[in-house]
Structure formats: structure tokens, C-alpha cells
Structure 1
């Protein structure tokens, strides 16, 4: 008990900056407890590093001239600044002697050396401008586009980035060779365009969801890129692909007889079921691939779009479904280019910003080729026989966006 009573308090071990021992645990005699001694044992916190000062540290890999005079790079720097501040404190006291005044002057010169960069260091700061820019960008991070959906369980905010990273990795599986029609012996790309244009009209009359149309065209293209099809069976492939997409996406699936009737009874129920089995076996039952619609929703959210921009973007990307040349672009690029071209069509500024660039991973330069082709298709949409998309988006339900005939490219 006696040893516990006489036990002395632990002092500063040197690893606690600014830490002081508890005054109540220290002896109260005048020799061991002195407010001035306690003030001297206090080590103040390090001063904040500005952008200019941080650029010098990053470039030279050494702290300052004052820290080099004090000794080691890191520990000496802290001790040196602590010494400077402790030396400056007597300025406020009256009756200071000349020796202390001289010490203060020397310390002030050291601080001027530390805080004011030398001419060589000033040139190094100019050469290190990217470092300053990076620090400024870090101070203003890009706002999250999912902050308003945090409490929405259907938005799955905690997993949304992982989901779209998975889509970007697997979208290559939904792509087909851009020249796969060269392997077909009895059909060509013009017949495919007629089929897709007809399916868009069927999709509109059945009032199906957007994702159903994109998935149906994807299933048809993937099947035709693997399996040779004769001309008389091409429409059968089309209605079967639409039936499979409806079973995957829709809540209320149209009856199989409806597809038989819509094809003017050119095929029987057994023909459709046989083709359905053939398509599923050929595609190895893989019907869950990302389409342009999947990326369109995410990129439109990043663009902060209104209803009109959404309609224009979907109009442009549906026009691309009919054109065989657009198969060379991956789904994510088609979606991003449709939004970019739509913003140019509506004369919105800026046409492409950092937020959309971040979430789409495409820069404005990477979208130019695809946007130019979309502009060409858009200008010729109402001409010729394949006008299902133009007529669909010319009604008030879609804000008549097809009638915006302004050129996309200046």
C-alpha cells in the first residue's frame, strides 16, 4: 500500500503530442509542480499544411529548410516548430531580457525561411501545378446521384455500383459480330431491318415495356449470328424472340396465340414452341445479358434529365435497333451516345459533364463516331418504308420528339 501511495505519475512518453499529465495525480510541492514547467512540457499540435506548402513537400521529399536545421525530417520538424512556438511565447511577457529577444529574432528568421519558399522552391511549385489541381479537386468531390434513393429499397444503393460494374464486364457477351450477316446464305441485313421495324410496331401495339423490345432484338441477333436461318423462318425467329423476352420481362405475358395471329397465321403453335426450344438451346438458356436499356436508365439519372431528354434518347437508341451498322457499338456506348446526341439536339449545356463521364466511363471524344451515325439515322427516320420508330415517337405520348428535325451536329 505504501508503494502505491508513493507511486509517481507517468510523464509524457514523447508519443502524445500536446498531452499533459493529470494535475491531480502529481505531487503538489513547489519543486515538482510548477505551472511554468508544465507549460514548457506542452507540445502544441502541428500547424495545418496549405496547398502551396504541400506541393513543396511532395516535390522535394524534404520538409523545409528549418526542419533540416533542426535534425531529422519528421521528428525534427515537429520539435523545431514546437521550439519556435515556445520561444515566441515570451514576447507577450513584459520585462524580457536582451538574450531572449535575440533568441526570438533568430527564431523568426527560421520561421520566415520555413513559411516563405525560396526562389528555387517557387519554381518547383510552378512545375508542380498538377499536384495543386489534384488537391483542389479532392476538396470538391462529385455529388452522388443516389443520395435521394438511400431509403428506397428498390434502388439498392449499397450494391448499385457493383451491379453496373458487373454489367460492363459482361456486356461483351451480348454483342454480336458486326458482319455476322455475311455468314447467312438466305437472308441479309435489309431483311433484318424489315423484321426489326415490324417487331417495334408489334411491341408498341401490345404496349410492352421498353426492356422487352431491347431484349427481344438482342436474342434475335445472337441467334442469327450462330444459326443459319432460311428466309421463310425469319419472321418465326422474330416472334419467338419477342415471346421469350416477354416471358423474362413482362408481368402479364401475351398469349402464344396472339403471336400466331399477329403473324397472320403463317406459323402454328407447334412451330413457335419448336423454335423457342431451338433458340434456348442455341443460346444455352442465357437470356440475361445487359442491353442498351440497362445502361440508359443509369446514364439518364447521372445526366439529371427531364422527360423530353429521356424521350429523345430512347427515340435515338430505338432507331439504332433497326440499323445494322450500329451492331459494332457495345450497349453501354449506344446508351451514352444517345444521351449525348439528345443533349445536342435539345441544345442543352453542357453537352457532357463530369458526372455522366464518371458513370458512363466514356469521354465526349469517344462518343463522336456513334453520335454522328445517330444524327444521320435521325435525319432520315421519316423517309422510306421503315418508319415504325418515327411514327411511334410522333404521338403526344412521347412528346412528339420525332418531329424535332434539327441537325444533331453543328
Structure 2
């Protein structure tokens, strides 16, 4: 039987389980499926040992070596007649690629060998032809001159960046930063936000509520930490979960399946070595079958029309922090605020670039590093007044007493690795208001 989630989200006893890839166990707060009460569709299901999960499925060759098979077939004795012998050796060549000099040389040698009475004049004639070919001067190709900026259409011209706002020229020698295209890339991501604007869909979910979603996101943060995945993977998984729930009615017992499948898809998109299906079945305590997870993966991709390149706040946050040369402690504080916002349903409709800007502004004011500078306004497209509504909501979130049931993010950023930014007192609202005008 499935464990029910009350609307008030009562405490659930979490089962500590060994975790193969991370450093500490995951205590899932999402309801688990009891396999005894399920109809066994995929045959008997066995529990993994507590030492480690099953590895990836065994690889098998998809195609046999048909080349060897065909060769053996044609070289078999029953296919070769005793009295059949190859009459001629056929050579295929491309006459276009034939060197004319070598061709004439070969012709001269053949004539001299087979015909002992070859006239001297014919040999001289061939030698003269060879000499003429050698003296032929090939036309020299002129280098292609690059097109001037005046001849390019407007949409192909590079963006005009004032020197005081240029944050990419220092990385011109480093191709990994793509300095020539960085501004265009983030302008493109910002334009794509229009396609992925969400609304508060929870009113249409009859079997779910905000607390259930918050518990799921809190569990996904723990999965990301234990798997040591990129932060972009976490943000993308939450985004895909929200987009799927916005168009599909979901049940309580499938919420963890939706979240873990979204994390699997995000890992395939963002990670170099994503966890396999068995890893995600293991972290769900084998509450779901492989066929269920694969079916959910197909369902999510079809609901999103296979367009999973969703702009996430974390990408914009790193870009905007570069505009003010923010230190790692300041960026980590902004990341902490941004990650906390994933738990709150009211930030689901907020654009990723706007949310990242508001989180960075609070971090800058907290660290006494000034407000929203002209460089930030140029690269983000927002001014202080645009950020004011989101900044006030974020400040209210930080000032509210923390929920003991959703403590993963705060405990994560209270570690010294993250500069203990979760322990920093929240900045005064009046001080924030002074930078919003």
C-alpha cells in the first residue's frame, strides 16, 4: 500500500539506505510504493542488497559482424566450382584523378618496351609533351578577403558593447568561454524565456498541494548533492517537473516517479557521465519498476515536445555575477537564495533571468558591495524598479522561520564548503529598499 501524504505533510520516518555514489545516505521524504501490494507486471521483483545498487545492464552487441558472415558464405567450398577460374583481373580507377604526367610516362615506357622499332621522333614527341606539362603554371588562388561589417546584414553584426560594459574581452584567448558569442548566447536564452513562462498550476492539481511539491524539491536537492551532479541539473529537473505538472494531472503516488525521471532526463542533458536508470530506481527504494520509469520518461518528453533546453536561473546568476566581479562567497550567497526559491510555488511564474537578478541584488546588498550597477542593467535588461517585487518576496521568504521538514538546503549551505552563507543574518528590508529606487 502507498503511504498517504496529509495536506499538512506529517513527518515521515525515513529509511537510511546505503548510497553507492555519494558520501551520505539519502532519506527520502516522498511516499514509497510497497511492492507487496502492487500487481507484478514485470515479473517478480527482488530487493537489492544494502551494499550497493545493481550496475548498469549488461551490454550486448546490437549487430553481428555481417562482413565476416558474408565473406564466409561466398568463400565456402559449395559456392566455388572447380573449373571456374577468374579470367581477368579488373581494376577500377577514377580517370579524373589520374595524373597526366604519370600517364604519359607510363605510355612512353610501354611503347619503348613492346615496340623495339619505335621511332626516335615519337619518343622525342612524348618527352616534349611531358616537358610542356611540367612547365605549365597553375593559377594562384587569391585569398578570400573577409567581408566588411558594412556589407553584413544587421542580424549578423556583432552586438555593440560599450568598453565599460565589456566583460568578455579578457577571455579572448580562452575558447571555452566563447567570448565572441557570450552576449548573443545569453540574449538568446533570455528571449527563450517567453516560451517557458508558467502559471500557478497547483489549483488544477486535485491530488497535490504546495507542500507536496516542496517535499519533492527538497528531496531532489538531496539527490543532486549525493550524486554530485551539477547545479544546472537540479534547476532543469525542477523546471521540467513544473512544466509537466502544468499540463498533466498527477497522483500522489507518482510524484516521486515524476521528479526522479525529470532528474534522469536533466542528467542526460547536462552531465558528462549521467547516472543510469538503476541508480534512480535504487534511490526510490525500488518503489517503481524499470518499465514505469521509462514510460514516465517518454511521457515527460512528449509533454514538453522534446524541447528541454529551458533557461534556468543558475546560468544567468553566474553571468550577472561576472559583471561585478563578485567573489565566490557572494555568488554562493546568491545561489543559496535562488535555491531556496525552488521550494516556493510563488516563484514558479517568475522568469529565470529576473529571479537570478533579484537574488544577486540581495547578496550584493548583504555583502555591502553596492546595488544594481549600470553594467548589470546593461547585461540583464532590468533596473531596480523591475526587481523590486521579486526582491520583496525573496526577503519575506528569508525572514520567515524555516520549516524543519525542509531543511536540506539550509543544512547544505551551512557547511564551510559553502562559506556558511545560510548562517548569515538577513539584510534589513529598509536597506534593500534604498537600492530598489
- The TM-score, its normalising length taken from structure 2, stands at 0.60
Q: Which residue of 2 aligns with 1:378?
A: 398
Which ranges in structure 1 are unaligned for 5 or more consecutive residues?
1-139
1:90-105, aligned counterparts within 5 Å? none
CA–CA distance in structure 1, aligned partners of residues 401 and 317 of structure 2: 21
CA–CA distance in structure 1, aligned partners of residues 167 and 360 of structure 2: 17
Q: Deviations over 1:106-163 (max 9, x none)?
A: xxxxxxxxxxxxxxxxxxxxxxxxxxxxxxxxxx952411121111111111112211
CA–CA distance in structure 1, aligned partners of residues 276 and 351 of structure 2: 32
RMSD of aligned residue pairs (Cα, Å): 1.4
Q: Deviations over 1:18-43 (max 9, x none)?
A: xxxxxxxxxxxxxxxxxxxxxxxxxx
Q: Which residue of 2 aligns with 1:294?
A: 315
Is 1:221 matched with 2:223? no
Which ranges in structure 2 are unaligned for 5 or more consecutive residues?
1-161, 431-437
**Aligned with 2:164: secondary structure?**
coil
**Aligned with 2:361: secondary structure?**
helix
Equivalent residue for 2:413, pick from 388, 393, 402: 393
Q: Which residue of 1 aligns with 2:220?
A: 199
1:43-54, aligned counterparts within 5 Å? none
Structure 1 segments, 4+ long, off by >4 Å, are none
1:7-406, aligned counterparts within 5 Å? 142-177=164-199, 179-348=200-369, 350-380=370-400, 382-406=402-426
CA–CA distance in structure 2, aligned partners of residues 212 and 175 of structure 1: 19
TM-superposed CA distance for 1:255, in Å, is 2.0
CA–CA distance in structure 2, aligned partners of residues 381 and 398 of structure 1: 21
Task: Give the number of the structure with larger relative contact order, counting CA–CA contacts within 8 Å between residues 6 or more apart.
Answer: 2
TM-superposed CA distance for 1:174, in Å, is 2.5
CA–CA distance in structure 2, aligned partners of residues 347 and 408 of structure 1: 12
CA–CA distance in structure 2, aligned partners of residues 353 and 181 of structure 1: 37
CA contact (8 A) 2:171 2:177 kept: yes
Instruction: Give the aligned length.
Output: 269
| Structure label with greater radius of gyration | 1
CA change 1:182–1:343 in 2 (3 A) is same
CA–CA distance in structure 2, aligned partners of residues 276 and 291 of structure 1: 20
CA contact (8 A) 1:319 1:389 kept: yes
- The TM-score, its normalising length taken from structure 1, stands at 0.64
Q: Deviations over 1:306-351 (max 9, x none)?
A: 0111100100000111100111210000010010011112222x21
Q: Which has the higher helix share?
A: 1
CA contact (8 A) 2:318 2:331 kept: no
**Aligned with 2:247: secondary structure?**
coil
CA–CA distance in structure 2, aligned partners of residues 292 and 232 of structure 1: 29
